Structure 1
Amino acid sequence: MKGLKNFLKGIAVGVATLVPGVSGGTMAIILGIYDDLIHAISSFFKDWKKHTKLLLEIGFGGILGILLFSRLLENALNKYPHIMRFLFMGIIIGGLPLLYRKATASGKRDKKDFIFAILGFTMVLLLSAEPTVTTTMATSQGILSMVFLFIAGIVMAIALVLPGISGSFMLLVLGLYNVTLNAINDLNIPFLIPFGLGIVVGTLATTKIIESFLQKHPNKAYMLIIGFVVGSLLPVFPGVPSTSQLIPSAMVFIIGFIMIFWLGKKGITD
């Protein structure tokens, strides 16, 4: 029964990972599997049989969630790109109160911590400066493209491990979101293999470091994430909606905000 619950929770994390602004890590916290998941990865070789079972249960659920909902999201983005981006913005802003509560949970406040917020904001602006260049590199053929996809997978892994940063949002900032959705739906193996290997290597290489940083310096870590998330609003913003799209854009923005705000509040109090 516990294995089935982990599998279903994995599906929920997989679906959350697909939506820019919704953090798979935050969803894992809400579902009560984040600590077990991070510990299983960071100390995998200490009890590999036990950790393998947990990772397979959650991992297969996550993969199924991604495969089931990736086509739906791709179609929605193609048909309603403007409205969908306002939904993503509502989701991104709705997650900020959760991140701020985590940044100040220890009760120790230092004005210098805001430097990390500025650093995160600056980083995301630099990453999103030339999204068309990254898209071209990802879709071209050859060794350079494979190396780039491998590095992009490592960046994606860091976003997956860190609660509060959405992996799909990271892809959106880098200009790789639509391309990756298309690769998943079309089973583009030359794209998915180096990208997937980057995710695996990045997860194994950075989980212990991220776990330690979050435990030792939670204020600084979450202020960095807040800066990153706030900076993401600029590349996601599609411009002022037309008259016909104004009401639906406002509605989905509010829905996205309320949904993730409620989930974030539930994750703190439960």
Structure 2
Amino acid sequence: MKENNTSLLRVILRVLQGVLIGVGAVLPGISGGVLCVVFGIYKPVMELLGDPIRKFRTHVPKLLPVIVGGAVGFLGVAKILAFFLEAYPAPSVCLFIGLITGMLPSLFREANEKGRVKNAWVPLAVAFVVILALLISLNLFSITITPNFGWYVFCGFCLALSVIAPGMSFSTLLMPLGLYTPFVDGLGSLDFSILVPAGIGAVVTVICLARAVDALFDHFYAYAFHAIIGIVIAATIMIVPVDSFTSLGSAAVNVVCLAVGVAAALALDRFNSSIPKQDD
């Protein structure tokens, strides 16, 4: 009976994680890939994407609750949270920042899971600087283009990249080009003139990059994971709503949301650690 309860709790936890990943994938400034890392499922996701035929039987049963939750979050809950992000943008983003910040200790634990290595801070620092510079550069430009089939293929590439490369929020890549709003509107309305080219771009990206990322983890686990932590930190810094801390009232609300996010992340990490892990 206790084992059944544990299995049920594990499934519920995975579904909730999937919902947050789906939400993070569509909301501006948030990366679904970052949340995959935060919840400790990034590597199995990459293994499945990199070799779906061989990994199907071992990985899909474990990731199915996450996939279901992700679909719910992406198509359903995200619409609700998008309203809050539009109505209360700063507190909503601060809540996500708190969530990510509170999970950083667990990320470092996982990065050292296979043993500490010398100079692991080097890829962390390099990734941090490169991604921070890239995101700052994207924010400096504001270009509007006319969406078409080719550009929606590019949108699919960015969407897949936001999962494969944690910290690369597809909204961050698409907003400077004026593609974010028409792309998300098309996804929400199930517009096949947008879904088809986006699907093509996403599938090609997964085929080209997922296996390479999986191989990188197999051979350089600690270095690769520390580099991802650097990406996560850089991406998180870039979404801090600095302008919203101008008044005492708004600053207080933001700090409370940050604290709630951190507390929720620490509680989630403790709960996740308390559940016996299944063998991969």
The answer as to 2:222 corresponding to 1:219 is: yes
Corresponding residue SS for 1:194: helix
Unaligned 5+ segments in structure 1 are 160-164
CA contact (8 A) 1:71 1:181 kept: no
Percent identity at matched positions? 19
- Give a deviation string over 1:55-81, Cα, whole Å, max 9, x none: 777645532332120111110111011
What is the one-letter code of the residue matched to 2:173? Answer: L
The answer as to 2:83 corresponding to 1:75 is: yes
The answer as to 2:119 corresponding to 1:120 is: no
Corresponding residue SS for 2:214: helix
Give the C-alpha shift of residue 133 in structure 1. 4.9
CA contact (8 A) 1:9 1:58 kept: yes
The answer as to 2:110 corresponding to 1:99 is: no
Give the C-alpha shift of residue 225 in structure 1. 1.0
Judged with a 3 Å threshold, the aligned counterparts in structure 2 of structure 1 residues 203 and 8 are, in CA distance, closer, same or farther, namely: farther
Work out the CA distance in 1 between the residues paired with 2:55 and 2:118: 39
CA contact (8 A) 1:7 1:58 kept: no
Work out the CA distance in 2 between the residues paired with 1:62 and 1:187: 16
Give the C-alpha shift of residue 11 in structure 1. 6.3
Q: 1:195 aligns with which of 198, 208, 213?
A: 198
CA contact (8 A) 1:44 1:51 kept: no
Work out the CA distance in 1 between the residues paired with 2:16 and 2:213: 24
Provide the residue aligned with 1:162 in structure 2: none
Judged with a 3 Å threshold, the aligned counterparts in structure 2 of structure 1 residues 99 and 134 are, in CA distance, closer, same or farther, namely: farther
Judged with a 3 Å threshold, the aligned counterparts in structure 2 of structure 1 residues 158 and 95 are, in CA distance, closer, same or farther, namely: same
- Give a deviation string over 1:152-173, Cα, whole Å, max 9, x none: 13412414xxxxx36xx62344
Give the C-alpha shift of residue 132 in structure 1. 7.2
Unaligned 5+ segments in structure 2 are 25-29, 276-280
Judged with a 3 Å threshold, the aligned counterparts in structure 2 of structure 1 residues 100 and 7 are, in CA distance, closer, same or farther, namely: closer
Judged with a 3 Å threshold, the aligned counterparts in structure 2 of structure 1 residues 227 and 151 are, in CA distance, closer, same or farther, namely: same
Provide the residue aligned with 2:70 in structure 1: 62
Q: Which sits farther off after the overlay, 73-82 or 186-195?
A: 186-195
- After TM superposition, the score normalised by the length of structure 1 is 0.75
- After TM superposition, the score normalised by the length of structure 2 is 0.72
- Give a deviation string over 1:110-169, Cα, whole Å, max 9, x none: 12x2221122112322332224757735xx32354234213313412414xxxxx36xx6
What is the one-letter code of the residue matched to 1:215? Answer: D
Give the C-alpha shift of residue 94 in structure 1. 1.4
Provide the residue aligned with 1:237 in structure 2: 240
Q: 2:264 aligns with which of 243, 259, 262?
A: 259
What is the one-letter code of the residue matched to 1:141? Answer: P
Work out the CA distance in 1 between the residues paired with 2:15 and 2:207: 18
CA contact (8 A) 1:127 1:173 kept: no
Work out the CA distance in 1 between the residues paired with 2:274 and 2:59: 30
Work out the CA distance in 1 between the residues paired with 2:186 and 2:152: 14
CA contact (8 A) 2:35 2:100 kept: no
What is the one-letter code of the residue matched to 2:161? Answer: V
Q: CA RMSD in A?
A: 3.7
Judged with a 3 Å threshold, the aligned counterparts in structure 2 of structure 1 residues 11 and 178 are, in CA distance, closer, same or farther, namely: farther
